[in-house]
Amino acid sequence: MKHSALHAPALSPVIRSTSPSGPEGAVRALFRQADIEFDGQRPFDIEVRHPRVFTEILRNGSLGFGESYMAGDWECTQLDEMASRLLAARLDQKPIGVAQLKLFAHWLRSRVINLQSLTRAFQVGEQHYDIGNDVFERMLDPMMIYSCGYWERAGNLAQAQQDKCEMICKKLQLSPGERLLDIGCGWGGLAAYAAVHYGVHVHGVTVSKQQAEFARDRCKGLPVTIGLKDYRLLTGTYDKIVSVGMFEHVGEKNYTIFFDTVRRLLKPEGIFLLHTIGTEATAGVTDPWIDRYIFPNGKVPNGSEIVSAIRGRLMLEDWHNFGPDYDRTLMAWASNFSARWPEIKARYGGRFFRMWRYYLLGCAGYFRARQGQLWQLVLTRPDRKCAYRSFRLPSAF
């Protein structure tokens, strides 16, 4: 994807650091492990605009690094590539200074507290998904799909998201008249697609008020109902169940509850498709900056956690990984957001622009460095009698 539209405005004059000792020297040495220089000449090097960035990194690690960017203390032309290099070198696992203790405290908090309890379930909806539909309408494709597209044969974002929806419907083996439950339905794009193209009756649920209102409006006249409800409170039975981009909000302490709920709601011959970001990190904890500013209480699962949670509950039929496609998806979102930023600039301001740019491009680097993967799992009940055949959308070539 083209990066040229993603330059943030200059917020302060450039201040060149002169002393390589102390906090500055320690941080420069750390970043050189990823072949990144401060005030270097390459597009993925960091341009220092205020020397306090070095102290912030030592004091607060990745949280301080992100907050310094939001404050305009540093700039980077290719922020996505810079993030990819940092993560590929595992610098996120090498905090220095006081940041080491703060990262441990952040990890301990996630171990002790159920950050995704029923009483906290709506926090991510309020803080992230309800920031304003005008942001997402300008960033996403026309279907308003806020999850990884499938780029096997797509040349643009809209086609990648349509192909993803088609592949999901094929994997679920949808038939007219069936009841489909969409856990984490977003703005209703997949629900509308399944209802229109496969004739199914869809019930979608979300923890975002703005998503629910938008989805109800878009699905008027279709056999689709939308509820503002946590998955743990669902009742009834369904022929098929799907969850796209929601499992990252479930949390390790609730994985067994989630899969128990799916099994309870799924008919014996039914099929469940889980679409989620995944990681191979065994002791993963959400990045402190992401947790504070983007996705509160989130947790990316690793493979062993999922396998352990489904054991004795559901049968794994298929596991499909297309993680690199999220890099392309995020770069497309970043390009759209930057190009249409002037339309919403007056409402959100420059700090929001830098926060959102850092989020989108930093996450693109996360997938480019192969720290993040994108998994689609097909699961059935152990008592299902019909055989399941895996499906992939054919290539255009």
- Looking at 67, 85, 112, which one is the last position of a domain? 112
Same-domain check for residues 144 and 272:
yes
Q: Assess whether 148 carries a catalytic annotation.
A: no
Same-domain check for residues 20 and 94:
yes
Catalytic residue (one of 169, 219, 363, 386): 363
- What is the gyration radius of the CA atoms in the chain, in angstroms? 22
Give the pLDDT score at 372.
Answer: 94
Same-domain check for residues 35 and 169:
no
- Looking at 112, 133, 150, which one is the last position of a domain? 112
Q: Is residue 332 assigned to a domain?
A: no
Same-domain check for residues 38 and 95:
yes
Same-domain check for residues 310 and 171:
yes
Same-domain check for residues 107 and 130:
no
* Between 299 and 102, residue with greater pLDDT: 299
- Looking at 89, 112, 135, which one is the last position of a domain? 112
Same-domain check for residues 15 and 159:
no
pLDDT at 93 over 80: no
Going through the chain in order, the beta strands assigned E by DSSP cover 47-48, 74-75, 179-183, 201-206, 224-228, 238-244, 266-278, 315-321, 373-380
Number of domains present in the structure of the chain:
2
**What is the percent of the chain with per-residue pLDDT over 90, rounded to a whole number?**
77
CATH code for the domain of 211: 3.40.50.150
Give the pLDDT score at 270.
Answer: 98
Same-domain check for residues 270 and 318:
yes
Same-domain check for residues 9 and 65:
yes
Range of the domain at 280: 121-323+372-380
Q: Is residue 352 assigned to a domain?
A: no
The per-residue pLDDT for range 195-250, each reduced to its tens digit, is: 999 999 999 999 999 999 999 999 999 999 999 999 999 999 999 999 999 999 99
Same-domain check for residues 88 and 134:
no
Q: Is residue 339 assigned to a domain?
A: no
pLDDT at 143 over 50: yes
